[in-house]
């Protein structure tokens, strides 16, 4: 038994014929008859009977048709509740982000959507391996994720809103000998100690590409995922590191230099299940994230050069 079958039964009781019901519901008489047969299969007593050439309701059919009014009313209320939820501008939207994106985007997102008439945000940090980001879309409305240029695309299970295509630069102390160079190659940096992320995290593939391009194994001294900590260790002389140009927090004692010869960029994307964008509040958050991405991109220098530290 479903809502459509109950509506057909109710209309039959009111209109008095299969033909009239078909005309009212803009379907064929055979479609109406099929719905009545399906409904009858789920009932232990007859719902209709012949009165000459007409099909009419039995007493059981009349009782069920009366109950159908309450069912249709309940369904209408349910649809209205869903419509209100979908169109609610101040609905709650959950957003998860990996650490550097969280530091760059979430304050802007909070300020951009502050005040009445905007979605209510619930925020979380999630620093996971690249292949685990799509699974987070089950738990959160929007997930800020990153992947390298040459990494596989995100699976079809999630929709993707691109935010940034961000360069990864070599970070070093401002007095490091390589700081005088405008652009670096893998051979320039291959004999230096390195600070990098743990295995399985996206930036590790770029480190491996540097080693392959220089045809030598890099001296990896430290494994640190959090970029603010990485910058402090770089400033203290712990080694070189790759830092994202726009989303990592600037450090006054650290400079960035572009790296050529390898794919040294990452995509920062907002992942979400396609059905989530049926909600007005989720669409509002995605639109604000795109505006924030433009702010982040325009607020930093595109190519760091000699004599300059991290651009603010």
Question: How much is the pLDDT for 87?
Answer: 79
Q: Are strands 240-244 and 159-173 parallel, antiparallel or unpaired?
A: antiparallel
Rank 41-50, 58-67, 266-275 by mean pLDDT and report only the highest.
Answer: 266-275
Higher pLDDT, 263 or 291: 291
The pLDDT of residue 203 is above 70: yes
Same domain, 166 and 238: yes
pLDDT digits (tens, 9 = 90+) for 11-44: 888 888 888 989 988 999 899 899 899 888 888 9
Question: For 175-179, 193-197, 297-301, which range has the lowest pLDDT when averaged over its residues?
Answer: 297-301
- Helices assigned H by DSSP within 148-257: 186-189, 203-214, 227-235
Same domain membership, residue 131 and residue 72: no
pTM: 0.70
Residues 75, 169 within the same domain: no
* pLDDT exceeds 70 at position 135: yes
Q: Are residues 235 and 253 in the same domain?
A: yes
Residues making up the chain, counted from first to last: 312
Extract the tokens encoding 195.
């600070």
Report the number of distinct structural domains present in the chain.
2
Q: H-type helices in the chain, by residue range?
A: 3-15, 18-25, 29-41, 59-86, 99-112, 133-136, 186-189, 203-214, 227-235, 280-298
Point out the domain boundary residue: 59, 86, 113. Answer: 86
Among 39-48, 82-91, 146-155, 298-307, the range scoring the smallest mean pLDDT is 298-307
Overall average pLDDT of the 169-192 stretch: 93
Average pLDDT over residues 102-130: 93
Is 303 part of a structural domain of the chain?
Answer: no
Task: Say which CATH number the domain at 74 has.
Answer: 1.10.10.10
201 with 218, same domain?
Answer: yes
Domain that holds residue 67: 3-86
**In this structure, are 23 and 158 located in the same domain?**
no
61-72, pLDDT tens digit by residue? 889 888 887 887
CATH number assigned to the domain comprising residue 289? 3.40.190.290
Which pairing describes strands 120-125 and 92-97: parallel, antiparallel, or unpaired? parallel
Please check the confidence at residue 200 and state whether its pLDDT lies above 80: no
What pLDDT is stored for residue 126 in this prediction? 93
**Dist CA 195 CA 230 (whole Å):** 7
Q: Are residues 174 and 283 in the same domain?
A: yes
Q: Are 36 and 74 in contact (CB under 8 A)?
A: no
C-alpha–C-alpha distance, residues 272 and 143, integer Å: 6
102 and 207 together in one domain:
yes
Q: What is the C-alpha separation between 135 and 138, in angstroms, rounded?
A: 6
- The answer to whether residue 307 is domain-embedded is no
Indicate the pLDDT class of residue 4, thresholds 50, 70 and 90.
confident
Domain boundary among 56, 86, 116: 86
Mean per-residue pLDDT of the chain = 88
Q: Where does the pLDDT of residue 194 fall: very low under 50, low under 70, confident under 90, or very high at 90 and above?
A: very high
Angle at Cα 230 formed by Cα 290 and Cα 123, nearest 5°?
A: 40
Q: Is 237 helix (H, G, I), strand (E, B) or coil?
A: coil
**Residue 71 sits in the same domain as residue 110:** no
Express each pLDDT in 210-221 by its tens digit: 899 989 899 999
Q: Are residues 244 and 265 in the same domain?
A: yes
pLDDT at 3: 82
Using the 3D structure, point to which of 71, 86, 101 is the last residue of a domain: 86
What distance in Å separates the CA atoms of residue 160 and residue 154, rounded to the nearest whole number? 8
**Stretch 278-293: mean pLDDT, rounded?**
94
State yes or no: pLDDT of 174 exceeds 90. Answer: yes
């Amino acid at each position: 038994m479903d809502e459509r079958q109950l509506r057909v039964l109710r209309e039959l009781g009111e209109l008095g014929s299969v033909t009239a019901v078909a005309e009212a519901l803009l379907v064929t008489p055979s479609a109406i008859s099929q719905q009545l047969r399906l409904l009858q299969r789920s009932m232990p007593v007859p719902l209709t009977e012949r009165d000459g050439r007409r099909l009419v309701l039995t007493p059981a059919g009349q009782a069920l048709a009366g109950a159908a009014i309450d069912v249709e009313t309940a369904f209408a209320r349910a649809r209205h509740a869903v419509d209100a939820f979908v169109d609610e501008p101040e609905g709650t939207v959950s957003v998860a982000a990996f650490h550097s994106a969280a530091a760059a985007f979430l304050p802007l997102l909070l300020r951009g959507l502050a005040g009445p008439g905007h979605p209510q945000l619930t925020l979380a940090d999630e620093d996971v391996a690249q292949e685990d980001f799509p699974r987070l879309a089950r738990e959160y409305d929007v997930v800020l994720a990153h992947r390298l240029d040459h990494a596989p695309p995100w699976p079809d299970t999630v929709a993707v809103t691109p935010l940034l295509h961000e360069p990864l630069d070599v970070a070093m102390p401002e007095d490091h000998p390589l700081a005088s160079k405008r652009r670096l190659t893998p051979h320039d940096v291959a004999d230096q100690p390195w600070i990098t992320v743990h295995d399985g995290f996206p930036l590790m593939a770029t480190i491996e590409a540097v080693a392959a391009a220089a045809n030598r194994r890099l001296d990896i001294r430290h494994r640190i995922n959090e970029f603010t900590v990485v910058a402090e260790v770089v400033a203290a002389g712990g080694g070189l590191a790759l830092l994202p140009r726009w989303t990592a927090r600037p450090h006054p004692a650290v400079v960035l230099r572009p790296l050529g010869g390898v794919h040294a960029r990452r995509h920062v994307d907002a992942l979400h299940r396609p059905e989530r964008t049926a909600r007005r509040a989720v669409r509002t958050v995605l639109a604000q994230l795109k505006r924030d991405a433009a702010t982040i991109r325009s607020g930093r220098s595109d190519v760091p050069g000699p004599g300059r530290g991290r651009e603010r």
